[in-house]
Amino acid sequence: MSFGDPNNPYGPPPPQPPTAPGYGYPQQPGIPPQGYPQQPVYPGYPGGNMMPQTMPGLVTTARVLLFIVAAAQILIGIFLLFGAATLNDASNAGEDAFGDNGLSDIGHDGAGIILVLALLALGLSALSITLGVKMSRGGQGIRITTMVYGILGAVVGVLALIGAADAGSSAALVWALLWIGFGGTMAAGMIAPSGSAWFSRPRY
């Protein structure tokens, strides 16, 4: 027998084909590991490890001011309701005592005007509360409405400031300045880039 005979039991073993690397062993450089598919990496997704977004400071300030304004509007509305009821009762008493006269008619008309103002104040308080509550999840509609609301409030404050300056009333002057500050701060919070980015953020 010769060593070249493939059937020779004493000859060298025949060459074996290369085998694939087994699982659990170190892989060669440049070859992806087998058995475990590679997962793509996503930069933050619902339920993932993305940090929660926080409301910007100006937006938070505007939200707090909306709730303060709402509380003041509720108090003003209740005060006006009591004033309208009192004036209406006085007009009715005047009619009972002196009959139908011009003063009673003026009293009823004044009570009606005060009632409308009271309902207006209560309606604006509902709007203020709604804007404040929706500010955490609202979109551009809440932002634009709050911006217009703040601008109109600042304009009303300017008009009140002019009237207070003409009348020389220091109390009315302070209220007018507060109203201008509140309205201007609310509008600034919505106009600022941080406020725009907050209301434009993706929501899941």
Residue 16 CB contacts under 8 Å (≥ 6 apart), including other chains = none
In the predicted model, what is the mean pLDDT of residues 99-111? 74
Q: How confident is the model at residue 139 (pLDDT cuts 50, 70, 90)?
A: confident
Positive or negative torsion for Cα 22, 24, 28, 34: positive
Q: Which residues contact 35 (CB under 8 A, 6 or more apart)?
A: 23
Q: What are phi and psi of 15, to 5 degrees?
A: -65, 140
Cα dist from 185 to 14, 50, 149, 151, whole Å: 88, 31, 11, 9
Q: Is 1 a domain residue? A: no
Q: Is residue 142 domain-resident?
A: yes
Does 188 reside within a domain?
A: yes
Q: Is the pTM of this model over 0.85?
A: no
The neighbour count for residue 134, using CB atoms within 10 Å, is 15
pLDDT of residue 7: 65
Domain of residue 169 covers: 57-198
| 165: confidence class by pLDDT, cuts 50, 70, 90 | confident
Q: How many domains does the chain have?
A: 1
Q: Is residue 89 part of a domain?
A: yes
Report if residue 82 sits inside a domain: yes
Report yes or no on 100 lying in a domain. Answer: yes
Domain-embedded: residue 158: yes
The answer to whether position 35 is within a domain reads no
